[in-house]
């Protein structure tokens, strides 16, 4: 399949099987559409408490606001290249209602237990954590969204990191987002070598392009050659994962997932998301031609 065929097949899959949010984001990133369409689609997932829910992250079908869904909303604004300050600050109000003044929040809330969800979410009882607090805090700095919760969350992140470094790859990718965008550059740069070293051996991180099963790869940490963290990975690992990603397009034009979502709808929603992500990475690394 040529690079133009890869893009055309992926585009067809997103418009045929993806949800409206990924369709609007694809149109913005690949077809020059206004990012306002992405923001309008995001508004459908917003609740009156300012948070986001309704399966914005598709592995749980709970309509109630979740910290993880707030993070997905911020990531989507960042990808579209436009932040809606009212949406972002309302989401911070929601997060502030959870943190009891301490800054940190859990990844999801027990309210997910009343709805279909992927097995890994269990009963929804999770402690406050750098995942997703650090990632959301970094994105708020990147998007220049000011809010008192952001500053409390930053203090929580610094205190947590100075107590001990995580050994979980999902948490580390959140920490990398925080360290890339937090304004205290001297403090961040001093910590980066230790955090980078902790990635080796962290689960589930797959440095080997031939590794089977679910895992984060160098392309999750460095989705473009210009990424701040590209230098952490040697060329053989990055190019090997690019080859595997390019070869992973299914006959229907989309990419598959390596875990079990809670429903057929959830599976298709995830496939639309990972297909869009795959196309973005392949284009960034020159694998889709012009």
Q: For residues 285 and 149, state if they share a domain.
A: no
Distances in Å between the Cα of 58 and the Cα atoms of 132, 206, 232 are: 16, 23, 30
- Predicted local distance difference test score (pLDDT) of residue 2: 77
Q: For residues 74 and 40, state if they share a domain.
A: yes
Residue with tokens 């809010």: 147
User: How many CA atoms, within 13 angstroms, populate the side-chain half-sphere of residue 185?
Assistant: 0
Residue 220 placed within a domain: no
Q: For residues 22 and 41, state if they share a domain.
A: no
- Predicted local distance difference test score (pLDDT) of residue 290: 54
Q: For residues 150 and 24, state if they share a domain.
A: no
Q: For residues 144 and 272, state if they share a domain.
A: no
- Predicted local distance difference test score (pLDDT) of residue 289: 72
Q: For residues 258 and 180, state if they share a domain.
A: no
Q: For residues 287 and 143, state if they share a domain.
A: no
Q: For residues 60 and 12, state if they share a domain.
A: no
- Predicted local distance difference test score (pLDDT) of residue 1: 65
Tally of domains in the chain: 2
**pLDDT under 70 in the chain at which residues?**
1, 290
The domain of 61 spans: 35-203
Flag whether the pTM goes above 0.95: yes
Residue 115 placed within a domain: yes
Q: For residues 64 and 50, state if they share a domain.
A: yes
Residue 223 placed within a domain: no
What does the angle CA 267 – CA 270 – CA 271 come to, to the nearest 5 degrees? 85
Encode 28-60: b = buried (16+ Cβ within 10 Å), e = exposed.
bbbeebebebbbebbeebbbeebbbbebbbbbb
- Predicted local distance difference test score (pLDDT) of residue 3: 76
């Amino acid at each position: 399949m040529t690079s133009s065929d890869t893009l055309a097949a992926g585009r067809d899959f997103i418009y045929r099987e993806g949800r409206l949010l990924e369709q609007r984001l694809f149109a913005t990133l690949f077809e020059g559409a206004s990012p306002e369409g992405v923001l309008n689609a995001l508004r459908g997932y917003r609740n009156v408490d300012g948070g986001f829910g309704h399966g914005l992250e598709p592995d749980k079908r709970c309509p109630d606001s979740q910290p993880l869904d707030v993070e997905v909303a911020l990531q989507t604004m960042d990808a579209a290249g436009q932040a809606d300050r009212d949406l972002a600050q309302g989401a911070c109000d929601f997060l502030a209602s959870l943190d009891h003044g301490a800054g940190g929040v859990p990844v999801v809330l027990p309210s997910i237990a009343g709805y279909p969800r992927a097995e890994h979410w269990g009963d929804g009882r999770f402690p406050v954590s750098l995942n997703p607090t650090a990632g959301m805090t970094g994105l708020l700095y990147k998007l220049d969204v000011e809010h008192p919760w952001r500053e409390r969350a930053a203090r929580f992140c610094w205190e947590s990191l100075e107590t001990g470094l995580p050994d979980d790859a999902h948490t580390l990718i959140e920490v990398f987002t925080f360290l890339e965008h937090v304004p205290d550059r001297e403090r961040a740069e001093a910590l980066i070598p230790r955090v980078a070293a902790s990635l080796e051996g962290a689960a589930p991180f797959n440095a080997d392009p031939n590794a089977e099963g679910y895992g984060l790869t160098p392309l999750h940490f460095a989705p473009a050659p210009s990424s701040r963290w590209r230098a952490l990975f040697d060329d053989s690992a990055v190019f090997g994962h690019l080859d595997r990603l390019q070869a992973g397009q299914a006959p229907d034009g989309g990419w598959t997932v390596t875990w079990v979502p809670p429903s057929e709808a959830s599976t298709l929603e995830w496939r639309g998301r990972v297909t869009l992500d795959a196309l973005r990475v392949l284009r960034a690394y020159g694998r889709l031609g012009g």
